[in-house]
Every structure is written in C-alpha cells, then in structure tokens.
Amino acid sequence: MANTSTKTNRVKLASFNLFNYIEPPLAYYDFENIYSAEQWQKKQSWLAEFLAQHQPDIIGFQEVFSASALDEQMHAAGYEHFATVGEPTVIDDYICRDPVVGLGSKFPFTEVTAIEAEAEYIHALGLNPNFAFSRKPLRATVQLPLIGLCDIYVVHFKSKRPHLDELPAAKFVQSKVTQATNASSAALVNFGELLGRNSLGQWASSIQRGSEAALLFHAMLQRRIETNQPMILMGDFNEELTSSVLSPLTNRELRFEKEGLGQLANFPLTDAYKLFQQGLQDLFGVKATDSSLDEIAAEEERMLAKARASRAPTHYYGASGNVLDYILLSADFDPSFDNSVAEVCDYHTEDRHLVNPSFERDSQSSDHAPVTCTLRIRR
C-alpha cells in the first residue's frame, strides 16, 4: 500500500489501543496472564504489519505495559521518537496493572509531559482531594512539517467498568441474608444489592470519566491560550463522543455569554471523521483543469464510497458495537476556520480483526480497532 504521508504536505495520524502490550515473563492483572513466546511474537507481528500497511507518521498508544519493548519495536519500524508518561504498577515482582499511554513519531518532540489534575479545580468540582486521572494523559509538542509546533495529547479515559472501590461495604446484604428464611429470599436480597451497587459503581465510573475529560480540556485550553499552537487529542475515550459525559471536549457554547463569540471558534475540538465528511463537499467544488479531472474524479469516488458507509465501531461488547476511539482536532485543521492550515483528506477504521477475524492472523491483535486520519497541509 502506498504511503500517502511520503508527500511533503501529508501527515497521517493513528490511535491504537494495543490491548495488554506486555513482554513475558510479566503478566497483566493475574499471574496466569503471561504470553508464551509464540503469542508475544504474534502480538508484535500484528502491530508491525499495521505499521507497514498504514504507515502513520504519528501514533498514540493505549494499554502499554512494556514501554521499553514498544520503544524498541517502534524504532525498528522507523519511528525515531517515542515517549510514555508514568509507569505501570507492579505487584509481586511480575504482575502488572495500570498500563500507560505512549506516542511514537517520525517527527521530533520538543517537549513531553504528563497532564496532572490541578488541586484547585479538583476542589472546585467537589471531587475527592485524592482524585487523579485513571491513566495519566500525555502531551507531546511535535515539530510537524510546514505547520510547526503542535501539541498532541494521548488519553485513555476511565472505562465503564463499575467503579466500586470507594463504595461502603455491603453490610445491608449481610444483615438481610442472616434474617432470610430460605435460600430463594436470600438470593433475591443478594441480587438486589448487587444491582444497586452496580448502578452506583457505573455512575462513579461516569463521574471519573467525565471529570477527566473536563479537566483535560481545561488544561488544553490553558495551553492553547499560552502558545496558540494547534492541538490534536487522540485515544480510547471509553464512551461515545456524543455522550453528555464527554460533552466538554467538543463544547461550542458559552452559556449566558453573548459577546465575543466570534473568538470562540479558535478553541473547540472537532471529530476528525466529521471533518473528513465535510471535506467531501469541498472536493466536489474543485475547479480542475482537463489534465487533472481523472485524478480528482478517482479521489472523489474513493472518498465518497467511504463516506456512504456508516461509521465502523471500534469496539464490540457482545453483539453491540460502539465508537470509543477518536482523533479530535483543533480549528487549525478545519477548513471553515479562517486561520486553518490543513484539512482531513482520509479517515479509516482498521476493523478486519473484529468483524472478520482469522485465528492465525488475529489471535493476539486487539479488542479495539485502530483509527487513522490523514491531514493535507495547505500551506
């Protein structure tokens, strides 16, 4: 497959949840979860094949346990710049939890830092004083060709798994069960309490995820005010972008404020897929010379075919598919913004291993579909 980013005015981005990228003899979460040498080789081979086929210039990773192994693999694939923030938690010398995010790039970094939640805003939101991101977001300032410095953020927001750690012990269950007259009534009490605690746990996870999104976006805006550099946010959001929990990331309103709204366009983020769809309409409006008509028509046909298909899910829970993995872009990449410098000319969800898997090829791939988008720089 041709590498579109070899053109000097193209930059290809990707976001990839690696699903427990961990080098044996380390184990993820449980002592039984250790890859064999063959499984580990297949997992690395799947990533290598993805990189060779799609050739992103910049790729954000989630679920990284073995950062040094990923760094080595990325360098071997031609990515000279790699960074992570934080380290996984190691239990009993080899059992790991709390994976980190990372970023690989063919373009140099000028700065890499972890985003921390600020104490004053934690207090203002009424959160526990010990609140922290479930996985530290990474911010890397990257020197992009023709564009210059760009702040790229990689995230892995809190999952929807019920957050039960902070809930009180289920004393109610114990007291009622001891008073139960038979096994069936005891079971009803147990399941009722489990359902109640599950509801509380899910809401606790939503609070964590939503707070992470709001605090991160606030930090991004502070950085934008300070530097006015373009922003890219990519990662596993563990939620549909249209959810109210993630609404701060794409907010375009200042409630009760009616003055100066024209300046607001400089700050919101937009889903790269949405910008890709908008770009199709611009293609049809191109005034082309006879010699370029065939090339433009071929590109229009290819992009229109993609746009006609419904957006592919990036994760499946049972038979239900959801888009959980995103690339969000600042107004600098939106052609409708007066000062934009680039546009989204391609978008792809690599979901073959989810919808048509082959055991030999995909058994150690990922439970998420990587997403890619290509930026065409107009400077």
pLDDT tens track, the chain, 379 positions = 444 454 679 999 999 999 999 999 999 999 999 999 999 999 999 999 999 999 999 999 999 999 999 999 999 999 999 999 999 999 988 999 999 999 999 999 999 999 999 999 999 999 999 999 999 999 999 999 999 999 999 999 998 777 666 566 655 444 444 455 555 555 556 777 778 777 888 888 889 999 999 999 999 999 999 999 999 999 999 999 999 999 989 887 776 555 555 677 778 899 999 999 887 666 555 444 455 556 666 766 666 666 655 689 999 988 899 999 999 999 999 998 888 999 999 999 999 999 999 999 999 999 999 999 999 998 6
At 62, is the secondary structure helix, strand, or coil? strand
Cα(262)–Cα(160) distance, integer angstroms: 36
Q: How many CA atoms lie within 13 A of 249 on its CB side?
A: 29
What stretches of 56-116 show up as alpha helix (H) in DSSP?
67-76
Cα(331)–Cα(36) distance, integer angstroms: 46
Domains of the chain (ranges; CATH) run 10-167+186-286+314-377 (3.60.10.10)
Amino acid, single-letter form, for residue 224 = R
Cα(244)–Cα(110) distance, integer angstroms: 34
Cα(131)–Cα(127) distance, integer angstroms: 7
Amino acid, single-letter form, for residue 99 = P
> Are 299 and 283 a contacting pair, CB within 8 Å?
yes
Q: How long is the chain?
A: 379
